[in-house]
Amino acid sequence: MINDYFLLAFNSIRHRQLRSWLTIIGIIIGVAAIVALISLSLGLQATIEEQFEAFGTDRLLIAAQGFQGPGTQSEGITDEDISILERMPEFKTISYGSARSGEVEFKKETKFPFVFGGRNGKELLESSTDIAEGRYLEDSDNNDVMIGSRVANDLFDDKVRLRNKISIAGKEFRVIGILEPIGNQQDDNTIYITLEAYREIFGETNQVDFISAQVKPGVDILSLQEEVKREFERQRGDKNIDVVTPTQILEQIGSILGVVQAVLVGIAAISLVVGGIGITNSMYTTVLERTKEIGIMKSIGATNFDVLSIFLIESGLMGLVGGFFGVILGTLISLGIGKFSTDAGFKLLVKVNPELMIFGLLFAFFVGMVSGSLPARQAAKLKPVDALRHE
Amino acid sequence: MKKEKIIELNEVWKIYKMDEVDFPALQGMNLEVNKGEFLAVVGPSGSGKSTALNAIGALDVPTKGVIYLDGKDISKLSESMLAQIRGKKIGFVFQSFHLIPSLSALENVALPMTFQRIQIAERMKKAKELLTSVGLGDKLNNLPSQLSGGERQRVAIARALANNPEVILADEPTGNLDSKTGVEILNLLKNLNKKEGKTLIVVTHDEKIAKEADRIAYLEDGKVVSVKK
């Protein structure tokens, strides 16, 4: 019987093609928007998680409060603080450094990329970034630099090659390594030098902006985190140092992303609601147009339930067709944006997501049914004699 | 031979509420119809012919009074029970054919069987047979818009027979047809009555049709004023 309802509903949709398609387009847009936005934000989340995984979760990240990333001012972490960590046996490697925007000259052209001065950072870079040409910077390479891919290829009019000379704040350095693209503009636009060279050219004495301390295997990172906080507080007499784990940062980003996702999907949902109202409107018109047909069907034995089912399935089918094309369109849009973004330097891992597609399809069918339920009830309740008399 | 009653109307009233005024379409109508009979119902416009036919056909329930169809009181049934009765016991033929425009002749004839949950293969076979029997075996897949008036009424008659009902109710079946086609349709209906023993009730203005009937019921002001042989 349900097959027959489908056939009758399909027949009716086909019979008024233009209006059906216009109605369906409303659903296509709504579903496409939802699918595209969800898969983009899932892609963003996957990208961030991937970068954190490459970076490693077995470490504590330490920065002075107020430090918001390279380029911002911070005062706080000193060499003495680092030596507190160095005295603790739980740490394997303690990498640290500072970053700021610096005046960089290459072939008489001046730009202001980020300059990062680090110590003990080679392993960290090795694990998170591949080298494209040359080699990684060692702590003894005080006259050399390693550069990100955008510094090499895009920053200056001429490409920067291995063994080229560039000068940073007046001091000349030799390029010994070029990194593969990492996928975010800021990192790819950074020049890496040693902390010693950094302090020399920028005149800093014993401060650093941040520390990344890798713990030994088997150490409970959360209790170590508390211990480090206590130790800093005891030795420094203040609470100016933030100590977090990558997982905690990831969770924080995740919860922010969640809010962003909810807002975006909420906005997309509005367009789906509008699409649903389109179905309701179209179905009301259809019920009005087909009042006589409803009367005919009832006169030859259709029950209220039959009529209700036919109209519900009809609106559900419109939702389903809209969902089908909407899911395809939304997936293509998100893949397109992912590719565009990655090409432009912001890596975004967008994947085809079968669960999301099935969800989009079923949700559209559901929206169609709900939108059609009032008109369908109206159709079912029509009295056969009145309906037959309708012209 | 004792004749078996199939339809009985007992003091049937139908009052339509129109804004402030009540309009009584049937005013205590009494009528009996025997099984296998051909009854013509005639009367001036507004005398209640169609209202009576709708009430007999379970399309509408009376305001007052009792209607027996095949011994069963159908005047107080729920809509879904009425739908069952319409689907199984009654075949309607209307003046303006009332076919579904988006369905082919074959699908139109098969539709009443759909609502009786009959399997598709059986439906299509029966519909084909019925259309062939009314002379439309070569137009199974035509849409109503691709058929002449007479052909459409044949499709409607085939559809009325789909669930093999005992009663055929025809409301001005030749009203929209030219006289030659009208005669053909009338013969088709008469055949159903004579050869297949269907009870046939025809509402008509047409004297020629009325003369063919076994009995003629004259209606006036929502009542049967006389019945002639």
Mutate to test the interface with A, among B60, B100, B157 (most CBs of A within 10 A): B100
- Closest-CA distance of chain B to residue A371, Å: 24
Over the stretch A89-135, which tens digit does the pLDDT of each residue have? 989 889 999 888 899 999 999 999 999 999 988 877 877 788 889 99
Q: Give me the residue from B54, B101, B117 closest to A385, CB to CB.
A: B54
Q: How far is CA A150 from the centre of its chain?
A: 22
Task: With CB atoms and an 8 Å threshold, state whether B84 touches A303.
Answer: yes
- What are the pLDDT digits (tens) for A288-327? 888 999 999 999 999 999 999 999 999 999 999 999 999 9
Q: Give the model's pLDDT for residue A300.
A: 94
Q: What is the pLDDT of residues A247-258, one digit of tens each?
A: 888 888 888 888
Between CA B159 and CA B91 the distance in angstroms is 8
CB nearest B80 (choices: A296, A299, A303): A303
pLDDT in tens, A29-73: 989 998 998 899 889 888 888 877 777 788 888 988 765 555 555
| Under-50 pLDDT residues of chain B | 1
pLDDT digits (tens, 9 = 90+) for A179-223: 998 877 888 899 999 999 999 998 887 888 889 998 888 888 889
Structure tokens at B57: 């056909």
The answer to whether the Cβ–Cβ distance between A302 and B99 falls below 8 Å is no
Scanning every residue of chain B, which has its alpha carbon at the shortest distance from the alpha carbon of A293? Answer: B100
Q: What is the pLDDT of residue A70?
A: 56
How far is C-alpha B150 from the chain's CA centre?
Answer: 17
Q: Select from B57, B100, B163 the Cβ nearest to the Cβ of A293.
A: B100
For residue B113, the model assigns a pLDDT of: 95
Residue of chain B nearest A388, judged by CA positions: B98
CB contact under 8 Å between A301 and B88, yes or no, is yes
- Compute the 3-state secondary structure of chain A and give helix, strand, coil in percent, each to the nearest 5: 60, 15, 25
Contact B80 A304 (CB under 8 A): yes
Residues of A in contact with B108 (CB under 8 A): none
A80 or B127: which leads in pLDDT: B127
Cβ contact, residue pair A384, B59, below 8 Å? yes
Contact (CB, 8 A) for A382 and A291: yes
Strand partners, A133: A178
Q: What is the pLDDT of residues A281-297, one digit of tens each?
A: 888 888 888 899 999 99
B130-142 as b/e, with b when 16 or more CB fall inside 10 Å? Answer: bbebbebeebbeb
- pLDDT for position A75: 58
Among the listed residues A25, A12, A45, the one whose alpha carbon sits nearest the alpha carbon of residue A264: A45
- Element counts in chain B: helices (H) and strands (E): 7, 10
pLDDT at A274: 86
> What pLDDT, on the 0 to 100 scale, is given for residue A66?
66
What pLDDT sits at residue A71? 52
Q: Distance (Å, rounded) from C-alpha B88 to C-alpha B161?
A: 10
Q: How far is it, in rounded angstroms, from Cα A14 to Cα A1?
A: 20
Contacts of residue B125, defined as CB under 8 A and 6 or more positions apart, other chains included, come to none
- Check if B81 contacts A (Cβ < 8 Å): no
* Residue A297: predicted pLDDT: 94
Report, as an integer, the average pLDDT of A15-23.
85
How much is the pLDDT for B156? 96
Q: What is the per-residue pLDDT for A304?
A: 94
Interface of A with B (CB under 8 A): 1, 3-4, 8, 11-12, 14-15, 292-293, 295-306, 383-385, 388
Chain A contact for B48 (CB, 8 A cutoff): no
Q: Which pair of tokens denotes residue A297? A: 């069907």
Cβ of A303 within 8 Å of Cβ of B79? The answer is yes
Contact criterion met (CB < 8 Å) for A296 and B114: no
- pLDDT at position A67 is 57
Select the more confidently predicted residue: A18 or B1. Answer: A18
Please tell me the predicted confidence (pLDDT) of residue A58.
85
